[in-house]
Structure 1
Amino acid sequence: MPDTADKILDAALMHVPFDGWSETSFRAAVSDAGVDPVVARGLFPRGAVDLAVAYHKRGDAEMLQRIEAADLDEMRFRDRVAFAVRARIEAAEDREAVRRGTTLFALPIYAPDGARLIWGTADAIWTALGDTSRDFNWYTKRATLSGVYSSTVLYWLGDDSLDNEATWAFLDRRIEDVMRFEKAKAQVRGNRLLSGLMAGPAKILERVQAPARDGSDLPGGHPFPR
Structure 2
Amino acid sequence: MSLVSLFSPLRISLKNVYPIWNVYKKNVSLAASDKYEEEIRNKILAASLPFVIELGWTKECLSKGAEQVGYPGISHGMFTRGAGDLVHYFNTSSNEKLVETLKQFQEEYEQKPITPGEFVELAIAAKLKMLVPYKNRWPQAIAIMSLPPNVPNALAALLAMVDDICYYAGDRSVDFNWYMRRLGVAGVYKATELYLIQDKSENHADTMEFLKRRMEEAVQLHDIISKSDIAGQGAKDVAKSAFVTILILTNSKFLHIDKERERERDNRNTENRHAIYTLQRIHIV
Query: TM-score, length-normalised on structure 1?
Result: 0.75
Change (3 A) 1:224 1:63: farther
| Other-structure match for 1:82 | 121
| Other-structure match for 2:109 | 72
1:63 aligns to 2:63 (yes or no): no
1:170 aligns to 2:210 (yes or no): yes
What SS class does the counterpart of residue 50 from structure 2 fall into? Answer: coil
CA contact (8 A) 1:72 1:80 kept: no
| Other-structure match for 1:129 | 169
1:102 aligns to 2:142 (yes or no): yes
| Other-structure match for 2:69 | 33
- State the alpha-carbon separation in 2 of the partners of residues 8 and 163 from structure 1: 31
What SS class does the counterpart of residue 124 from structure 1 fall into? Answer: helix
CA contact (8 A) 2:47 2:68 kept: yes
Return the offset for 1:9.
2.4
1:223 aligns to 2:266 (yes or no): yes
Query: TM-score, length-normalised on structure 2?
Result: 0.61
With 89-98 and 61-70 compared, the bigger mean Cα shift is at 89-98
Q: Deviations over 1:170-223 (max 9, x none)?
A: 00111111111111123225xxxx59x959x88xx7xx99x8xxxx5159x943
| Other-structure match for 1:51 | 86
What SS class does the counterpart of residue 152 from structure 1 fall into? Answer: helix
- State the alpha-carbon separation in 2 of the partners of residues 86 and 107 from structure 1: 26
1:14 aligns to 2:53 (yes or no): no
CA contact (8 A) 1:122 1:142 kept: yes
Return the offset for 1:45.
4.1
Counterpart code for 1:223: D
Change (3 A) 1:143 1:11: same
Q: Deviations over 1:85-137 (max 9, x none)?
A: 01111133422453432121133443333233222211121122232234433
Matches within 5 A, 1:134-213: 134-189=174-229
Identical-residue share of aligned pairs (%): 23
- State the alpha-carbon separation in 1 of the partners of residues 47 and 211 from structure 2: 32
CA contact (8 A) 2:81 2:149 kept: no
- State the alpha-carbon separation in 2 of the partners of residues 198 and 145 from structure 1: 20
Change (3 A) 1:61 1:93: farther
Q: How many residues align?
A: 208
CA contact (8 A) 1:127 1:224 kept: no
CA contact (8 A) 1:148 1:171 kept: yes
- State the alpha-carbon separation in 2 of the partners of residues 86 and 182 from structure 1: 21
With 20-29 and 93-102 compared, the bigger mean Cα shift is at 93-102
Q: Give the CA RMSD over aligned residues.
A: 3.4
What SS class does the counterpart of residue 160 from structure 1 fall into? Answer: coil
